[in-house]
Chains A and B, each alone.
With several copies, the nearest count.
Chain A
Amino acid sequence: MGLGLFGYEPEGATVNVFERPYDDPVRVLDEHGAVVGDVPDLEESDLLAVYRYMRIARHFDGRAVSLQRQGRMGTYPPLSGQEAAQVGSAYALGADDWIVPSYREHAAALVRGIPLTQTLLYWMGHEDGNRAPEDVNVLPVAVPIASQVPHAMGAAWASKLRDEDAVVCCYFGDGATSEGDFHEGVNFAGVFDTPNVFFCNNNQWAISVPRERQTRSETLAQKAEAYGIDGVQVDGMDPLAVYAVTKAAVEKARDPDPDRPRPTLIEAVQYRFGAHTTADDPTVYRDDDEVETWRRKDPIPRLESYLRTEGILDDGRVASIESDVEAQVAAAIDEAESMVRPEPRELFEHAYAALPTELERQFEALEALREKHGDAAFLEE
């Protein structure tokens, strides 16, 4: 397998990423990008892709926040600081694998094939933004916290029952671990030994509630004990460590070792640099100092510095990536903003496979009113 110290080694090596103490996070790069662990076996093009995705995510995030400020988009949940966790993990999945996101996984979704335009549309209030293209294995955004965890388990169970290879990676936050659905979903995964990766984005805060207030357990990774599955902590701001750990978990889920559970709970320790959403003011509940401390762990300069050291990046390539990224995000925004407001029919269209008569009538009544009064009759205020 070649993942060395961090790898999942079915041959029975004694040092195994799943046998570390829960409070000893897997690390590959330190805060300055110096190598402090086993570098996963990635091609140069892959390393560049990871870097590039993180840059897109960061730039997208900034643009989205300002679109919201300008009234061109609704409430938006920023992800800055969390790029490594999202990109590193999503990049470790195979083509047929699935992700089951919460509402903040724009970068993971992008890696898995959701166009930026759709993410924008979604936060601009268009239902279409939540429709993954046919060949993209991403379940819709789940807003009720932790409610997607049982879905991920069920999807993985379907894969197992059908003798398919797909592994299902579920994202959720530190706050989500307090919900009953987290417990029930992960427990099911243990019992039915489903090919799941439960990826916890521990960004230290659930809106204003700090991690210590969610639970008294020292780590979130150790919650795996309650389900008899593997649990591991990783430096969630180290894209290579996240990649390595997720890869190991995915491989174990796909090709199970008879002695190990297929499911893994990964706690990716990280920080959200910005507000919870554009509706939130984090200065009310947390100190600038804390933010500064975590900003020093920023995953992007970290990987960039490593890639520069390795000779994979230099000023010129960085500049060209930068302008590509800007162009790509700008194009997505243009496209999203050029979409027309959906037709009212869309309210009804997908409630059922075939519209019940009463809904047809309600739609007709709406149309009659539009006919009579025009759209202004609804859009007032």
Chain B
Amino acid sequence: MSETQNLTLVQAVRDALYTEMQLDEEVIVLGQDVGKNGGVFRATEGLFEEFGGDRVVDTPLAESGIVGCAVGMAAMGMRPVPEIQFSGFMYPSYDQIVSHMARFRARSRGRFTLPMTLRAPYGGGIRAPEHHSESKEAFYVHEAGLKVVMPSTPYDTKGLLISAIRDPDPVIFLEPKLIYRAFRGEVPEEDYTVPIGEAVTRREGEDVTVFTYGAMARPTLEAAESLTEEGIDAEVVDLRTVSPLDREAIVDAFKRTGRAVVVHEAPKTGGLAGEITAIIQEEALLYQEAPVTRVTGFDVPYPLYALEDYYLPSVTRIEEGIREAVEF
């Protein structure tokens, strides 16, 4: 067995970048404040010193420029890893993401591929200013040609980010900033991959299946644990990749219990919980013993921090959702 380190999630991001930059000269990191400053969350700390200003590049303040130039570099065969400082600032680059990043391969019938990985921290709960707490993965899941990854542990983060960088297709890698430093986990020093597109069961259970991903995995597991006291045995499936969804895993896990809850912090309407519900009922309606419960953010703009605790799914809200599915 190889050596491991005890890393936080954000350190695992950095470790993945470091690992791939060592192994492949075509990997470069670019974005706002990723260089000398090491990233506003320190996700690129030390990379500038290690790899120099040609491979770890502070760019002007222009998201469409960042994503667009990465598209051009990737079309030439490089593996750029642009960072957008917060996922709430990806919108100025939305045209580059959906019109180009997603479609370059299809448009050129495979002549040009885009092995690029767009990283951004997402999600709420850190008492941040407006626009710094967005969780709008659904905006990218609806666009074919993209893969969208949302890890929840340091181990997965490194393995999935390496997979993303090596992937021949463009990947959006959304990092749960709420848990960037919330805990540590064992992370191999060597390079390894976790496959994109595979969900994982975090907790086995008999009564109900709870689907979640990213920062919501922890409160969901906590809720599942605490409900054992009430005799409820909940299974927790961490999707890890939200596009393409691991339909097989979703359907199989659901069939075992016949009851499901989906937990995400994104707003309810048009969020992934709806899509997952649709998948379940289109493939396993006859197994369904209760409506799929959606425990999600509300359909309102993400609030300033005085009210954010009411907005985000809390352990109690998740528990209620699970009870609802079980008691139906």
A interface residues, Cβ below 8 angstroms from B: 74-75, 100, 103, 122-132, 134, 139-147, 149-159, 161-162, 168, 175-176, 178-181, 183-185, 187-188, 191-192, 206-209, 213-215, 279-280, 284-285, 341-342, 344, 346-353, 356-359, 362-363, 366, 369, 373, 376-381
Contact = CB atoms under 8 A, between A and B. Distances in A.
B307 A158 contact: no
Contact of B109 (A128, A146, A187): A128
Given A151-B68, A366-B310, A369-B317, A347 B28 contact: no
Contact of B69 (A153, A207, A366, A377): A153
Interface stretch (B16-24, B53-61, B284-292): B53-61
A161 B61 contact: no
A140 B105 contact: no
Contacts of B64: 150, 180-181, 184
B278 interface: no
Given A125-B306, A284-B37, A131 B109 contact: yes
A178 B60 contact: yes
Given A359-B298, A362-B299, A124 B60 contact: no
Contacts of B78: 158, 161-162
B70 interface: yes
B108 A140 contact: yes
A165 B131 CA distance: 33
B127 interface: yes
7 contacts: A128-B109, A130-B107, A130-B304, A150-B72, A159-B76, A187-B62, A356-B244
A151 B247 contact: no
B316 A378 contact: yes
B126 to A, nearest CB: 9
B111 A377 contact: no
A362 B298 contact: yes
B269 A358 contact: yes
Contacts of A363: 298
Contacts of A378: 309-310, 314, 316-317
Contacts of B95: 144, 147, 181
A155 B73 contact: yes
Interface residues of B, number: 87
Contacts of A178: 60-62, 65
B58 A347 contact: no
B245 interface: yes
Would you list the 10 A-B pairs with minimal beta carbon distance, nearest first? A154-B72, A150-B68, A184-B65, A154-B69, A208-B37, A125-B305, A377-B316, A151-B72, A178-B60, A125-B306
B220 interface: no
Residue of B37, B57, B60 with highest tally of chain A CB at under 10 A: B60
Nearest to B244: A356
Given A127-B303, A130-B109, A344 B310 contact: yes
Interface in B196-213: 197
A350 B303 CA distance: 11
B61 A209 contact: yes
Interface in B135-192: 144-145, 147, 167-169
A181 B100 CA distance: 13
B128 A74 contact: yes
Nearest to A173: B61
Contact of B37 (A162, A285, A346): A285
Nearest to B102: A351
Interface in B224-270: 244-245, 247-248, 268-269
Given A342-B307, A358-B269, A351 B59 contact: no
Contacts of A127: 106-107, 109, 303-304, 306-307
A270 B129 CA distance: 25
Nearest to A284: B37
Contacts of B317: 369, 377-378
Contact of A352 (B36, B74, B145): B145
Given A209-B60, A285-B37, A346-B307, A147 B72 contact: no
A70 to B, nearest CB: 14
Contacts of A207: 32-33, 37, 40
Contacts of B67: 150
Given A74-B305, A143-B130, 8 more contacts: A126-B306, A143-B129, A147-B96, A153-B68, A192-B57, A285-B36, A359-B244, A363-B298
Contacts of B131: 143-144
Given A152-B72, A157-B72, A188-B60, A351 B248 contact: no
A75 B129 contact: yes
Contact of A139 (B38, B75, B314, B316): B75
A181 B68 CA distance: 8
A357 B63 CA distance: 32
B33 A103 contact: no
A358 B247 contact: yes
Interface string B288-328: 00000000001111011111111100111100100000000
Nearest to A187: B60
A112 to B, nearest CB: 14
Contact of B65 (A122, A123, A158, A187): A187
B58 A208 contact: yes
B60 A215 contact: yes
Given A75-B129, A187-B60, A284-B36, A158 B72 contact: yes
